[in-house]
Amino acid sequence: MVGKCDFVSVIGAILVLTIFHNPNIVHAGEGVPEVALFTFGDSYYDAGNKAFLSKKKNPPQTQWPYGKSLDDPNGKFSDGHIVPDFIGDFISIPNGIPPALKPGANLSRGASFAVADASILGAPVESMTLNQQVNKFRSMKSNWTDDYIEKSLFMIYIGTEDYLNFTKTNPTADASAQQAFVISVTNKLKNDIGLLYSLGASKFMVQLLAPLGCLPIMRQEHGTGNDCYEPLNDLAKQHNEKIGPMLNQFAKSPGFQFTVFDFYNAILRRTQRPHNYRFYVANSSCCGVGTHTAYGCGMGNVHSKLCEYQRSYLFFDGRHNTEKAQEELAHLIYGADTNVIQPMTVRELIVFPAGANMLESWEPNLSSVRRRPSTKSTSVYRLLDLVG
């Protein structure tokens, strides 16, 4: 009965119905509530925090050619904007979110807690574990109201360092040792997400790991030529298989909402069919030295090569994507079909009423393209249950 719901829930559900099924609402920011964006993880999401922890006076990511496309080396590991910048733009945060470690930063629309070299396990040098990032958020939590935190977006991408370090220190690990390590990593990740939830976060976008063995730096270090280093890809796949079921379990908790971005296959498709995505080079990087120009970009003591046109490359350096690729990925996160992000897009996650329980769950092996409905569907009628 409507009478049993408060007015805010009724309006929220009506807004969701309007946004999901009105084809005229297509522009970024339109119909989307003003929320904050918080990011956690490693260098993929680092907005500049590493520079504040580094003992080096001028770390590579603060020097040209990083920031090349913007002519602004600002501590981000790309030639320009990174995924959170584009997501911020889509939800009307025009200048992006600042690094949380920057003194005097404007935190009104959120902050980046991600730090390059971050890991889930261990004690990374001049960096922070995910748990330390979450505790940093805890210490700064008073900058935002509880209601604002509950309706805001929390993006997480981490785990690369854990698996790169594991394969480096355990090159002959057997299947059981690999499985045990994956379980230890994902269990700790589960604990850290649970801590964020206990601090008031409720809307999570978790990005699956990339095919780590296809990174140019891994092809170069392992001498695989045009092939990927499959042992690392196998570890990433084992890790990724545990994320959806983990979040499905979390969604049984009151108000916990999530979506999962299949970053693994998004990158794999671009390495296998680069021309379909308007890339010319997908197995080597734009900046660096070595067989795949994958090492030393921005380092003062390395005479690294630089490609002439970075927008033709999938990777800018040995591990990080170009601005062009980051923009493509951000569009996928914000509005792709369920074979790419599920059970909902980030746009749908943001407009979904805060505090409401999930209506759909993550599904395994969703490899075929399933279009999101543009007309009334079972989900619409289930949404009506929120107000009836």
Mean pLDDT by 10 residues, the chain (388 residues): 42 44 43 94 96 88 91 92 96 93 96 97 91 98 98 98 96 95 98 98 98 97 96 97 97 97 97 97 96 92 89 97 98 94 96 94 67 43 38
Which residues are within 8 A (CB) of 91 and not within 5 positions of it... i.e. 6 or more apart?
Answer: 28, 29, 32, 34, 35, 37, 153, 350
Cα dihedral value 357, 191, 239, 221, nearest 10: 140
d(CA 284, CA 288): 9
Which residues sit opposite 306 in a β-bridge?
287
The Cα-based distances of 183 to 169, 196, 246, 351 in angstroms read 18, 20, 12, 33
Cα dihedral value 299, 302, 308, 309, nearest 10: -40
d(CA 11, CA 31): 13
Which residues are within 8 A (CB) of 275 and not within 5 positions of it... i.e. 6 or more apart?
Answer: none
DSSP state, residue 295: B
Provide the pairing of β-strand 257-261 with 203-207.
parallel
Q: Are 97 and 112 in contact (CB under 8 A)?
A: yes
d(CA 87, CA 327): 9
Helix axes 175-198, 160-169, angle to 10 degrees: 150
Q: Are 97 and 37 in contact (CB under 8 A)?
A: yes
Q: Are 284 and 294 in contact (CB under 8 A)?
A: yes
Residue 130's closest CA among 72, 89, 190? 190
Peptide bond into 124 cis (omega under 30): no
- The dotted CATH code for 2-276+325-384 is 3.40.50
Let me know how long the chain is: 388
Provide the pairing of β-strand 153-157 with 281-285.
unpaired
Instruction: Say if residue 125 is exposed, middle or buried (CB neighbours under 10 Å; 0-12, 13-18, 19+).
Output: exposed
d(CA 268, CA 212): 10
Encoded amino acid at 93, one letter: I
The pLDDT, as a whole number, for residue 3 is 41
The residues carrying an active-site annotation are 43, 317, 320
The pLDDT, as a whole number, for residue 366 is 60
d(CA 316, CA 301): 19
The pLDDT, as a whole number, for residue 373 is 53
pTM of the complete model: 0.88
Provide the pairing of β-strand 305-306 with 287-288.
antiparallel
Ranges of H-type helices in the chain: 7-21, 49-53, 83-90, 130-140, 146-151, 160-169, 175-198, 216-222, 230-250, 263-272, 323-335, 346-351, 378-384
Which residues are within 8 A (CB) of 108 and not within 5 positions of it... i.e. 6 or more apart?
Answer: 36
d(CA 207, CA 158): 8
